[in-house]
Amino acid sequence: MPSAPPIDDAPDIRAAASAPGAPATAAAPRFEARDVDGIAWVRASGRWTAMALSSRSTWTALSGALQGMPAREDLGWDLRDIEPLDHIGAQLLWNHWGQAWPKRLVLEAPHQAVLDQCAQFTCSLPVEVPPTTAERLKTFAHLGTRLAIALRDFVRLIGQFALDIGTLVRAPHRGPWRDLSGQLYQFGATALPITALVGLLIGVVLAYLTSQQLRQYGAETFIVNILGLALVRELGPVLAAVLVAGRSGSAITAQIGVMRVTEELDAMRVMGIPHGFRLVMPRVLALAIAMPLISLWTSMSALLGGMIVADLSLGISPAFFLQALPRAVAMTNLWLALGKSAVFGIMIALVACHFGMRVQPNTESLGRRTTSSVVTSITVVILIDALFAVLFRGTGFR
Amino acid sequence: MIETPAPDVPHLVEIRHLWTVFESPDGEEQVVHQDLDLDIRRGEVLSLVGGSGTGKTVLLRQILGLERPARGEVRVLGQKPGQHGAGGAAKVGMLFQRGALFSAFSVLENIAFPLRELRLLPDALIRDAALVKLQMVGLGPEHAGKRPSDLSGGMIKRVALARALIMDPPLLLLDEPTAGLDPESSDGFCDLLRGLHRELGLTVVMVTHDLDTLFDLSTRIAVLADRRVIIAGRPREVIAHPHPFIREYFLGGRGRRALEALHDAPAEAAPGSAGTPHR
């Protein structure tokens, strides 16, 4: 091990240095300072690699020692004992030197090559000019344009759907029936367990809540009216729609979005197969058919939950419950709920397709559009529900 | 061609008696690798060659620890693969076929990601190191702020290579490094790989169907056929092997044209003259 490095003031000592280094050590990166003939030398040794530096104790010790070292111009550096030196270690040294070669430096050729690369390529990032107020205003104003474009696209989607329905009616044998049946199964049949569970639990909760109040007034039998009207007319359809929006809406957006990422949409267009007819229409039709059925199913299971609780907590027998239900809830309410659900289904599918088509070919956009799709479709469902409540405020009550 | 390293250097990757079995949905078993042995020596550029479905990419994934063999053992740097934990990027670098850049990050953030995940080194050091790597793969600092979606295919590969190399791993795996690149970019990429191999002393394992790349870079070629490595040797030895797959693969029309890169006629390498089966 060289006890004293060669002393030479010439800066080109770097190129000349070729003395055999110390045997490779598996030691942590470190350095020590010593004076040789009045010149301060720093002798670095050990493994100056990303792997060695990624241990917390090593890094703390080394960075602390580097910071504690006086930044002297005439400091000499001896790197011959470093084995190995990789780009991270070299970068650390280079940055410590203030991105300039020290006046006195001895090292070996491979280390020289690594350090040369750091020296050659270290640079500052191109500065990004901060946007001016005018540019910011322009970006902000552009939001309006983008919103208008999105709305226009959505209206176009609805129009295209209407036209596609027309095409289907004129030539039903050319319709994408296999797609439709697949989507029906996927959106409808596979949603049955979860909607049944959620419906049942909501029925139980609502029945317990109302039974407490009704008992105070001695109006126990009215639980049939309350549960019947609330579940059949409002909660069943809305609950089912929210669940389906989260479940199938996100699936549609992700499916169409991935088709955009993998260029499947472009491939379809090149073959002359319209997206509206093959992708949008079967999904919208499937949800238009499946949604009322799921909503009916959810209401049924919610009523079942309510019936069980009415029996348990108020002593109202299921037989009485079923007998009183048709008298309490007019049939109109059921038709209203089914119609409303069909509109929910159509809107969920259209919103999901709209956002799916707007996915840009990268994963970030896919995630963002799927989120917006679900949020928008749930909002739309609630909006439409409110609209129905206002429009049909005089219908179905006794 | 890159200079062949001495044959007695220690093995970086050891694959012993490896079995890979895929189970199809109807319960049928399909054996992809049967009792496969392969050693990868320090400092070499080994190409894996084989027909479609012979399990080249699967073998790469097993070296990475992304998949586990049904039987047998894979050792990378004396360890089981996939057990490197944090800092795994310092052991093995992988260039995926389509780059696998994180689309939510900029180019510089992509390259710096393995270092930043250590949550130890200062940001300035990480940024400088990532910028150095970006320029080492031949891209200017003006690309640092771009998103992966704004890059061309060749640039994506270069950025992915820079990310694979950020912690200077001794082992670099490449899956179809030149697939989807135009000839000029392919040549540029080969030059880049050759330069990096020389400068960083890398060991490279690659899967490629591009015969130009294959002969340009490989110091050794391992041929997968009949569910095992039928031969692993220097390009000239491999070409001379009499196995029908090799005759068809290398001595077909495309193969002959690419072989001209070897600078002497393949006719000299008559069957059986130099080829020694691996096992």
Contact A123/B at CB under 8 A: yes
| Three-class DSSP category at B104 | coil
Q: Percent of chain A beyond pLDDT 90? A: 53
> What ipTM does this complex have?
0.75
The CA distances from residue B106 to A171, B103, B110, B164, B236, in Å, are 50, 8, 6, 16, 43
pLDDT in tens, B47-105: 998 888 888 888 888 888 888 888 888 888 878 877 666 667 778 889 988 888 888 88
pLDDT in tens, A248-261: 999 999 999 999 88
Contact A214, A310 (CB under 8 A): no
Contact B52, B209 (CB under 8 A): no
pLDDT in tens, B155-169: 898 899 899 988 888
The stretch A332-361 carries a mean pLDDT of 94
Beta-bridged to residue B173, according to DSSP, are: B94, B205
Would you state the pLDDT for residue A244? 96
Confidence band for A119, pLDDT divided at 50, 70 and 90: confident
Confidence band for A349, pLDDT divided at 50, 70 and 90: very high
pLDDT in tens, A208-218: 999 999 999 98
Would you state the pLDDT for residue B82? 72
The stretch A381-390 carries a mean pLDDT of 95
The dihedral built from the CA positions of residue B256, B260, B261 and B262, taken in this order, carries a sign that is: positive
Confidence band for B277, pLDDT divided at 50, 70 and 90: very low
* Poorest-pLDDT segment among A159-173, A285-299, B107-121: B107-121
Contact A125/B at CB under 8 A: yes
Please check the confidence at residue B263 and state whether its pLDDT lies above 80.
no
Please check the confidence at residue B271 and state whether its pLDDT lies above 50.
no
Please tell me the distance from the alpha carbon of residue A113 to that of residue A116, in angstroms, as a whole number: 5
The stretch A140-151 carries a mean pLDDT of 90
Please check the confidence at residue A13 and state whether its pLDDT lies above 80.
no
The stretch A128-140 carries a mean pLDDT of 86
Contact A38/B at CB under 8 A: no
Please tell me the distance from the alpha carbon of residue A382 to that of residue A371, in angstroms, as a whole number: 17
Would you state the pLDDT for residue A39? 79
Please name the residue that has the structure tokens 């005439």.
A74
Q: Percent of chain A beyond pLDDT 70? A: 92
Confidence band for A168, pLDDT divided at 50, 70 and 90: very high
Would you state the pLDDT for residue A21? 41
Would you state the pLDDT for residue B209? 84
Residue B226 token pair: 């009949």
Instruction: State whether A364 and B103 contact (CB < 8 Å).
Output: yes
Would you state the pLDDT for residue A154? 93
Would you state the pLDDT for residue A228? 93
Contact B243, B50 (CB under 8 A): no
Contact B148/A at CB under 8 A: yes
Beta-bridged to residue A31, according to DSSP, are: A44
Contact A86/B at CB under 8 A: yes
Mean pLDDT of chain A: 87
The stretch A23-36 carries a mean pLDDT of 70
- Substitution target in B137, B143, B167 with the highest count of A β-carbons within 10 Å is B167
Would you state the pLDDT for residue A207? 94
> Up-side HSE of residue A113: CA atoms within 13 Å toward CB?
12
Would you state the pLDDT for residue B272? 40
Contact A213/B at CB under 8 A: no
Chain B residues touching residue A88 (CB < 8 angstroms) = 115, 121, 125, 129, 167-168
Instruction: State whether A92 and B118 contact (CB < 8 Å).
Output: no
pLDDT in tens, A286-309: 999 999 999 999 999 999 999 999
Contact A97/B at CB under 8 A: no
- Substitution target in B108, B111, B121 with the highest count of A β-carbons within 10 Å is B121
pLDDT in tens, A229-243: 999 999 999 999 999
Q: Percent of chain B beyond pLDDT 90? A: 8
Would you state the pLDDT for residue A196? 96
Would you state the pLDDT for residue A347? 96
Contact B223, B246 (CB under 8 A): yes
